[in-house]
Amino acid sequence: METKQLGNTGVYVSTIGLGAMPMSLSNRPPESQSINVIQRALELGVTFIDTADSYCRDETDKHHNERLVHKALQSYNGDTSNVMVATKGGLMRPNGSWTRNGNPNHLRETIRISFEALGGNKPIDLWQYHAPDPDYTIEESLTPAKEAVRAGIIRFVGVSNFSVEQIKRARDVVDIVSVQNQYNPWQRQPEFDGVLEYCETEGLTFLPWSPFGGSRRHENLQDIPAIAQLAKTKGVSVYSIVLAWLLAKSPCILPIPGASKISSIEDSVRAVDLQLSEQEVQIIDRETAS
């Protein structure tokens, strides 16, 4: 598996990561299946796993995904010393919905619980503030992360769903190495709002969430002629084409496709060896923009 640097940290991770969210929502697969998926990803060379405290069914189930990822790593027979687990905090799951909570006291507590859920024996590799809460300033909400870095509980810090201006404010509080915003062929806001360019210029890693456009798009990628034709021509899946499109868009992009089946992660990693020409990227751009 090819690797790329996480921000300017000097730490290198796999070019394709694993999004663990599908393993912990209301329609989650059996735990044994999820563990097999995570461990298969490791066998394939994946060394970056994305999780969050809110990847769960509801508030009674909080931190489920983090504990699951830790369990899979602990029971893996191979070497996991170079595996980086990125988690997030700042979203709540009341009755299964999604709400923001940037209260510094809440974030201090959830960072502590995330640290324990991930094993409690080494710093959280990457902790990301999940989404800015308008009820609190960015400075207030990121102070707990700054404290946790100083205390050795967090190694690196990232932000999610942030604008360029918000990223700049965050960097005044604590060193930021990554940005996780929605980005796919149908939601290309990071191209237009300057976030992607800013990450490239500043050496930040960009983690695109919802790379396949959400459940509705995910189930109908075969119906997009440009994507379907490229997949047929190159002998790969439509999902590999979308991941290759992301990789072609910027060297700072690290896709984190979700998976709950072994076949899914096996398919995703194939995108690392897939090269799209500038013309092919433009064809996808034009078709999905309409």
**Residues classed as catalytic:** 55
Distance CA 66, CA 210 (A): 19
CA neighbor of 81 nearest in space, from 127, 42, 34 = 42
| Cβ partners under 8 Å of residue 153, min gap 6 | 111, 112, 115, 123, 124
Contact 279, 287 (CB under 8 A): no
CA distance linking residue 33 with residue 26, whole number of Å: 15
Judged by DSSP in three states, 13 sits in strand
Among residues 176, 142, 132, 139, which one has the least CA distance to residue 156? 176
